[in-house]
Amino acid sequence: MGTFPISEQKGTDLSEVRPLLHAGASVKMADAPEMGNVPISTSYSAATHARYVVIVFMVTLAMVTYLDRACIGAMAPKIAEEFALDEAQMSWVFFAFILAYAIFEIPTARWADGRGAKSVLTRIVSWWSVFTIATAGAFNYYSLLAMRFLFGAGEAGAWPCVARVMSRWVPKKTRGTAKGIFFAGAYASAALTTAIVTPLLTHVSWRTILVAFGCVGFVWVIAWQRWFRNEPTDHPAVNEAERALILADRPPEAPQPRGWPFWARLLRQRNVLLLCVAYMPNCATFYFCITWLPTYLMKRHGFEKAELGIVAALPLALSILTQFLGGFFSDLIAQRFGVTAGRRTPGVAGYGLAAICICSAAVADEPVTAAVLIAFAAATCMLTTATSWSTCVDIGREHSATVSATMNTSGQIAAMASAPVVGYSVKWFGDWNMPFWLLGGLFLVGSACWLFIDPRRPVFEDGARAA
């Protein structure tokens, strides 16, 4: 932006100028006017861009997370063959990760709200990288279960920590877009992992791939530790203009509620309960895509290995675009019609379209048609992801990590249920489509929940009294 000359006299109101300062304008006092014989000359530089570096860190974190998480689905047929596992047993391997993730999600997030995200994310990424490599050492069914459980325990809390980082570093008006970019990166990684691992398995063992993928996280940890600060005010790369931009719409922080008053308020707040229910189909869909989908497409629709990797990656590939669009349109609608409309619209529309697509896939017999409908169901469902997490930050404020973790834990519960539901539907009834009908019902419930979520109402608006 350019320079705005200001001729300031006694009593002049600079309120009209401050928005320009927040936007990074260069402002200078013209003609060196005097106030009490003291000349005034003030200059403001353009805002630095350290917040964008933080977004890059978060996107690469998402990519490393899903690299390690998504590879197990593509490897499932090979692992099941080596350990002689049926679909029901393989479902418990998937279940072990989700169970641990759900158990440790909220405690880790609460830790991040208290200590800040830097040290907590360092522990998380280091732990999951170690146990990604350790999974390569599994020697039977029970050791595989143990490794996946420990992997899930280590990764728990990563996404709530990201919400915490976003609440401190990203201005509210661009938070949905930032979240959309974050999840688009995650799904790009998951899609590429699914597409790459399947052909790689014809040349190297699944154990070698896990070791290679596990090492990537350590590179991220080194860079994160050297650069990141919990608060933008503490970072040397952030100038005053960028601090003002980030802090302009941050509400004042209330004292941290403790103990039972905190949880009583949190768990009876309508927004939190609605978000918990609405997020369930999102997680159930994602985990189906990264765990059961390759097996489903091969056994139910007869896709061969040569094309399986591409077809199985299609839902995640389409979701890259919709993850971004969900956040982008949330911000766009919020700027024109208010934050309530901005957050609700992607949730209602995304789940409504997903219900239509997944139910159509359940009755489709032609393989390509069924695969495309599943991909569209997953992609439209993911329009809700960025807006869900942005709403958690809106209502959680300084408790963003804990509120996000509560929502995400409910999603993990749905994902936990979905893993054995698929496995035992096949084992007992020979039916691959029953989970699709259940998922369609969940989509409709999620769409209805979004009609009543109010992002303007913080969970702890009178947090001082709750303490």
Q: Which pLDDT score is estimated for 364?
A: 86
Provide CB contacts within 8 A for 464, sequence distance 6+: 254, 255
Mean pLDDT of the chain: 81
Q: Which residues is 5 bridged to in the sheet?
A: 28
The pLDDT tens digits for 293-321 are 877 777 776 676 657 667 777 888 888 88
Residue 138 phi, psi (nearest 5): -60, 135
Q: Which pLDDT score is estimated for 6?
A: 38
The pLDDT tens digits for 382-395 are 999 989 988 998 88
Angle at 178 between CA 240 and CA 44, to 5 degrees: 15
> Which pairing describes strands 38-39 and 3-6: parallel, antiparallel, or unpaired?
unpaired
For every residue of 114-153, DSSP letters joined together read: HH-HHHHHHHHHHHHHHHHHHHTT--SHHHHHHHHHHHHH
Q: Cα(43)–Cα(26) distance, rounded to whole angstroms?
A: 7
The pLDDT tens digits for 231-267 are 998 999 989 888 888 888 776 665 556 667 777 888 8
What is the CB-side half-sphere exposure of residue 5 using CA atoms within 13 A?
A: 5
The pLDDT tens digits for 154-201 are 888 888 899 889 888 988 888 888 888 988 888 788 778 877 887 888
Domain-wise residue ranges, the chain: 3-39, 50-239+257-458
Number of other CB atoms surrounding residue 337 within 10 Å: 11
Provide CB contacts within 8 A for 365, sequence distance 6+: none
The pLDDT tens digits for 23-38 are 444 443 333 333 344 3
| pTM, rounded to two decimals | 0.70
Q: Which pLDDT score is estimated for 89?
A: 86
The whole-number average pLDDT for the span 32-47 is 47
The answer to whether 350 and 333 are in contact (CB under 8 A) is no
CATH H-level superfamily of 50-239+257-458: MFS general substrate transporter like domains (1.20.1250.20)
Residue whose structure tokens are 């146990």:
131
The pLDDT tens digits for 318-351 are 888 898 899 899 989 998 999 999 999 999 999 9
Q: By 3-state DSSP, what share of the chain in percent is helix, strand and coil, each rounded to 5? A: 75, 5, 20
Q: Which two tokens stand for residue 223?
A: 């860079």
Residue whose structure tokens are 């989700």:
98
